[in-house]
Structure 1
Amino acid sequence: MNTFLLPDLGEGLTEAELVRWLVKVGDVVAVDTPIAEVETAKSIVELPSPYAGVIEELHGEPGTTVPVGKPLITVGDSAGAAGREDPAGSASRGDLAGSAYREEELAGSGNVLVGYGTVESTGAGRRRKPRVSGVSGGSGASGGSESPARVPLVISPLVRRMARDAGIDLHELTGSGPDGLIVRRDVEHAISFRTAPVPQPALEDRTGLHELRRTPMSGFRKAVVATLTRSRAEIPEATTWVDVDATALVELRASLRTATDPGPGLLALMARFVVAGLLKYPELNGYVDTAREELVQYDGVNLGLAAQTDRGLVVPAVGNAHTLTTRGLDAEIRRLTTSARDGRLTQQELTSGTFTLNNYGSFGVDGSAAIINHPQVAILGVGRIIDRPWVVDGEIAVRKLTQLSLVFDHRVCDGGTAAAFLRFVADAFENPASVFADL
């Protein structure tokens, strides 16, 4: 039997949260068969099995945190599983093939049971104890030779399924059947005990309220907290904003759409103007080297795009965005967005950004004083685009307005540079055709 330990996932990560199992006890796996998805502080990783054989045990429930070096799965010898036989003498593989199980009624109990190996019949109405095989080192053992606390004694597929569906760990149950056999009533008792009303917790002193729930922080959330806390602690930030008439931008987006080509999206157009602004004002596209007391500017732009996912806010970056056309930006933005929602972003995509564009207008809000994504030095937010009254040529007209807000590190530039960058992007939104002529 082999036990697969959570491997070192690199980047100094010391733990991972178990998202979901891709296998179950009794499955036959080959080398490199995906067995689990784990979430690190960086992304979701699919782990392959380094062993071939039968899954004997899954160590941990989804949602738990597993330290590096701790057990994930135990894999038994597949040859031992193939050698299990049924009462008729044909090969039986227990959980590996549900139809190979022989269910028998436990006399007098009304509970269905079955062995990993065989149930021997000694005549009508008489049965011997189940013989357990393949649960310790791949060799056969009698029911009384294994500790029920370590290996759950012989159970039927029905009982096993009941426990799995209810989230009951069979290793924690003490069987009431012969020789500690776990039967249906044991699982039902565990379910009823777990769902029984629990005493109301004491009132919290400060608020006088009961706590509704406590949710442990995932590794991903811990990383977000650390980054944002460091940003607030180290960066003397300032915010500037401007209302923008984006009517021409929306019209340009519509003009690029055809019956056969959807054309670049609004976010790609915005990104194109932001990249152009950063090339013009590179102070906002860099970082502060505090150890050497130097301001560093990058030769090129990796544009970070804030994206909300089920696991929280992530900021994947479009690498070398300054070399892409607007269509190229659109394709890469769509790819990164899909990868973010699927939890498939790479370490490089998550950490290589040099500036962040945050389209919080997608949440239906007008403005926000965002937190800079450390170690970057600025973040530009775009609010929702809505119809509002606006003065055009001395007359009130209905226009499509949005708000741009720039949060910047005051160490890298003064307000004049930040305002000039913001005004450049705002002018591009208001007169996109003229700006495109210069790009």
Structure 2
Amino acid sequence: MMTEAKVFLLPDLGEGLTEAELVNWLVSVGDEIRVDQPIAEVETAKSMVEVPSPYAGTVTELHGEPGQTLDVGKPLISVAPAGAPAVEPVQAAANTYREEEKAGSGNVLIGYGTPAGNGAVRRSRAPKSTAGSGRAGVSSVASPESSVSDAEKAADDLLLLRTRVPGKLGAVISPLVRRMARDHGVDLGEVHGSGDSGLILRRDVEAVITKPAVIEEPITRAIPNQGTTADARTGLGIASRTPVRGVRKAVAANMSRSRSEIPEATVWVDVDATALVELRAGFKKGGAHAPGLLAFIARFVTAGLKKYPELNTRIETAPDGSQEIVAFEGINLGFAAQTDRGLMVPSIRAAEKLSARELDSEIRRLIDVVREGKATPGELGSGTFTLNNYGVFGVDGSAAIINHPEVAILGVGRIIDKPWVLDGELAVRKVTELTLTFDHRVCDGGTAAGFLRFVADAIENPGTVLAEI
């Protein structure tokens, strides 16, 4: 009696994430693995993580390829218990498409997956394509309504066993794939299978069906940058195409949502930071650890948010469409950090309880973590307010986009020497610009200006403010 392999589904990686990009497999088919052994590296919208196996045994199937985006709850890996007999290649492949027909499947026979559920999935036979529509649409290709009778499946399996080359898989085993190819006029002999041993999967046939027709250009028409694809709008050759995925995909979605949902407004002020720069220099001269300027500003920000808590909130929409402002008992201060994987915003939990030195230590730790790609979803998705030090890029100001679902973001420009009127006389001072972008639904301009002025005054008189807080 053959022991059935256990299928491990991609787990919920926290913070409401619904998908992850498969970066690299850490195991191969046939490997013996143990419980909690890392089996794959995946990149979520938050970070790069290693996924451990909950099962021990022999790897029988890897459900995905590097670069593929997998949905949470879909098959990731199949593991046969230790000591289980080997599975014939054909039978293993047949099991593959059988599993794909169950609710919650969809990774191998792409486009045929169905939502996960507790009960059986009801299917009905899809209508035949009309004449002349063989390559026209995608909707008929990806329809989840296709079905194959048990008799057809049995006949296909029998035919496969009779005609296959010993020790090798047939080119196509799934009747669903064969039917799709037949209905759309695809010659399977011309299709390169991307599965094991050249197995032709649904995605391979889908790629042929959805491939745009090639239109021959008139001989007399000059083709710019011959040898590369020409852009129809500009006529220029296209140098490259980069998929928007991983961190960049998350940033794009978050920023688009912020712009579309939040009625934002921006206020700014120039600040004399000379006293703060001198205070830090004094710490360094005395041999004591001197927190970075960002840590001091972070300390002023948390004090300001205590005084103006409206900026440390979130707006939620109830099922009936009504909205409410959610206030928090603490402050998780996020800060923007540039990494090789894009802009990341780790957050310091309970930042209001930390001193400038403690904030400096946590900022440095989190920067190291995110640059190594090891930040947890909690460290990257729990902020309540964001501090953005874009001055490190040599710019003075920016109308930043709010980090949804937060309601405000404070930007700090570079600190440079500028002419400044001090006690009625012109002087050269260390000046920076603070920019606050806020959600006008949670407060008005007076509140926003009050908070911004509080932080500005703290920078100009750091000794007094630090003593008070």
TM range (shorter): 0.5 to 0.7
Measured in 2, the distance between the counterparts of 1:19 and 1:255 equals 47
Give the aligned residue type for 1:8. P
Q: Which residue of 2 aligns with 1:303?
A: 333
Distance 1:171 1:258 in 2: 66
Whether contact under 8 Å (1:302, 1:355) holds in the other structure is: yes
- CA displacement at 1:75 relative to structure 2: 5.2
| Paired residue secondary structure (1:230) | helix
On the 8 A contact 2:269/2:435 being kept in 1, the answer is yes
Matched, 1:274 2:277: no
Does the Cα contact within 8 Å between 1:359 and 1:382 map onto a contact in 2? Answer: yes
Match of 2:354 among 320, 324, 344: 324
Task: Please give the per-residue CA displacement for 1:118-137, whole angstroms capped at 9, x wherever unaligned.
Answer: xxxxxxxxxxxxxxxxxxxx
Letter in 2 for 1:389: P
Tell me which residue corresponds to 2:243.
Answer: 216
Show the counterpart of 2:268: 241
Aligned-residue offset at 1:408: 1.1
**How is 1:32-431 mapped onto 2 (pairs within 5 angstroms)?**
32-53=36-57, 58-73=62-77, 144-147=166-169, 171=196, 200-257=227-284, 261-290=288-317, 291-431=321-461
Asked if the contact 1:6/1:66 (under 8 Å) is kept, the reply is no
Identity of aligned residues (%): 63
Q: How many angstroms does 1:232 deviate by?
A: 1.1
Counterpart-to-counterpart distance in 2, 1:426 and 1:218 = 38
**Which residue among 7, 10, 13 is the counterpart of 1:7?**
10
1:289-321 Cα distance to aligned partner (Å, 9 max, x none): 454444443333221212222322222221221
Please give the alpha-carbon distance, in whole angstroms, between the structure 2 residues aligned to 1:400 and 1:435: 19
Deviation string, structure 1 residues 192-248 (Cα, Å, up to 9, x no partner): xxxxxx983542222212222222222443332232222111221111111112111
Deviates more, 1:227-236 or 1:296-305: 296-305
d(CA) in 2 for partners of 1:255, 1:413: 38
**Which residue number in structure 1 is paired with residue 110 of structure 2?**
none
Question: 2-side partners of 1:33 and 1:245: how far apart?
Answer: 55
Whether the 8 Å CA contact 2:15–2:378 is kept in 1: the answer is: no
Q: Name whichever of 388-397 and 236-245 sits farther off.
A: 388-397
How far off its partner does 1:367 sit? Answer: 0.8
Query: Is 282-291 or 353-362 further displaced after alignment?
Result: 282-291
How many Å apart are 1:172 and its aligned residue? Answer: 6.1
Return the TM-score normalized by structure 2. 0.64
- Cα distance change on mapping 1:16 and 1:434 into 2, 3 Å: same
Residue 100 of structure 1: aligned partner? none
Give ranges in structure 2 of 5+ residues lacking alignment.
86-164, 173-193, 200-224
Q: 1:70 to 1:412 in 2, by over 3 A?
A: closer
How far did 1:371 drift?
A: 0.6
Measured in 2, the distance between the counterparts of 1:52 and 1:289 equals 43
Measured in 1, the distance between the counterparts of 2:30 and 2:286 equals 53
User: Per the alignment, in what secondary structure is the counterpart of residue 269 of structure 1?
Assistant: helix
SS at match of 2:40: strand
Provide, for residues 306-348 of structure 1, a one-character-per-residue CA deviation record: whole Å limited to 9, x for no partner.
Answer: 2222322222221221122222222222222222222333333
Amino acid at match of 1:42: K
SS in 2 for 1:417: helix
Point out where structure 1 has 5 or more consecutive residues left out of the alignment: 82-142, 151-168, 175-197
User: What SS does structure 2 have at the residue aligned with 1:244?
Assistant: strand
